[in-house]
Amino acid sequence: MTVAGKNLAKVDHRVYKTWLKVLFRTALTNNIEWQQRMRIKPGVDIIEHFAKYIEHVVPVIAIESSLPYAEHLLIELIGEHVKFNRPVFMPSLLSGNWQASHGKPFDARTPLVLSFHESQNVENSLMLVHGIETSDNPVLIGCNRLNQVPLEFHRLIDITLSLPVASAQHFEQIFEELFEEQLPSLPAMESEAKAGSPR
């Protein structure tokens, strides 16, 4: 990959990560049950609070999202606030098989990220369920909709978060996150364009 290509990949990753961050924050804000359980105080960064919750409670969390593999970047966002070992991903992104991406899936303080966006045929699913039940590791389960997740995993889920479809308001928040300034209003943008155009 060229230097320009690598830089573009970094930009794409940053934009996608910021997009997910905004949608994730919205999903947490809309989850009143979780907020009441955690007694969220005004002014507290809700993603940081959620990361601390995961660190101490080590729950199993289902993430509903139409964005493929959103859970992979969400665990990265959570890792910015708490220290975990390198996450284990299943199925493997390289082979597509239901095997750990590396290491052992139930090592201490190792998040396990399961993705059901494309494959629901889990090899040895009961063994995996038993491993989750008897381990002390946080688990993120990604899917488009919860009905994609095999039934044997449903009873393990502590919280379900549904990432919303991006709206115009979300786009404004994404712009502010990326550029640290408010998105110009449409009339202001038109005025700037006219002022800069040759007569």
List, for residues 82-112, the tens digit of each pLDDT value: 988 999 999 877 777 777 767 777 877 899 9
* Banded model confidence at residue 166, pLDDT cuts 50, 70, 90: confident
Does residue 190 belong to any structural domain of this protein? no
Does residue 129 belong to any structural domain of this protein? yes
Which pLDDT score is estimated for 193? Answer: 46
Does residue 77 belong to any structural domain of this protein? yes
Query: How many CA atoms are closer than 13 Å to the CA of 192, on its beta-carbon side?
Result: 6
Does residue 197 belong to any structural domain of this protein? no
Given a cut of 90, whether residue 145 has pLDDT beyond it is yes
Does residue 192 belong to any structural domain of this protein? no
Which residues sit opposite 140 in a β-bridge?
A: 61, 113
Cβ atoms of 162 and 62 within 8 Å: the answer is no
Which pLDDT score is estimated for 176? Answer: 80
Higher local confidence (pLDDT), 168 or 162: 162
Does residue 101 belong to any structural domain of this protein? yes
In CATH, what number is assigned to the domain containing residue 93?
3.40.50
Residue range(s) defining the domain that contains residue 79: 3-181
Does residue 194 belong to any structural domain of this protein? no
List, for residues 106-138, the tens digit of each pLDDT value: 877 899 999 998 777 887 889 899 999 998 899
Average pLDDT over residues 11-19: 80
The contacts of residue 44 (CB under 8 Å, 6+ apart) are: none
Does residue 118 belong to any structural domain of this protein? yes
- Could you give the strand order of the β-sheet that contains 139-143, starting from the edge strand earlier in sequence? 88-90, 112-115, 139-143, 60-64, 159-162
Which pLDDT score is estimated for 178? Answer: 74
Give the count of domains, the chain: 1
**Cα distances (Å, whole numbers) of residue 156 to 29, 59, 63, 151, 191:** 23, 9, 13, 10, 55
